[in-house]
Amino acid sequence: MTYRIDAPNRQYTGQVAGIAFRNGTADGLTDVPDYFRRHTGYTITDTTPEPDENPEPETEPAEKPAARKPRKTTTTDHD
């Protein structure tokens, strides 16, 4: 899961509880420190993309062409 945290001050740029904010937003977090859950004014949003309901079918790997058998060579004696 990925998260976005919005700070109460939308212009804030800096660090809070080890998380970097820019213009009041911290994006792409995989963990949300409890600090933001305990302090009012912070909004935590789950930004994990929804799974595709109709994923593209996986393509089968192309088969390698069969290896050619070596040609049998015959030698003839010309006497």
pLDDT tens, N- to C-terminus, the chain (79 residues):
899 999 999 999 999 999 999 999 999 989 999 999 999 999 999 999 888 777 677 776 666 666 666 666 555 565 5
Chain Cα centroid distance, residue 38: 29
Residue 56 confidence (pLDDT): 72
CA-to-CA distance for 12 and 37, rounded, in angstroms? 18
Query: What pTM did the predictor assign?
Result: 0.62
Which two three-digit tokens encode residue 75?
Answer: 């030698």
* Three-state DSSP state, 29: strand
Q: Report pLDDT for 43.
A: 95
